[in-house]
Structure 1
């Protein structure tokens, strides 16, 4: 959008510039939520003593 190039979504011909912006914001929010949930799950697994890394091995080189 920053390049000001006009485009048309062939799967949704009624997609407006506003809708693209809204979908972008929602996608960014979901990405942040996924990251937060992943970090929380890994931390909880760590607290339970669950092995992490490749094949359950600590990969600290």
Structure 2
């Protein structure tokens, strides 16, 4: 699984970090993320993509 975040679109709301804190974190007000998380994180990453207010998260297999 590959996680892609359109950082030009991302507005750092942090909803993804709440939904999937192992994959997404807010550091100094900016999003950082693991682009190749373990497959065991899929449900959380899908939830993070769903709750993103600007739909900036894409998941590829």
More helix by share: 1
TM over 0.5: no
TM-score by length of structure 2 reads 0.25
More strand by share: 2
Which is higher, the Rg of structure 1 or of structure 2? 1
Higher relative contact order (CA 8 A, sep 6+): 2
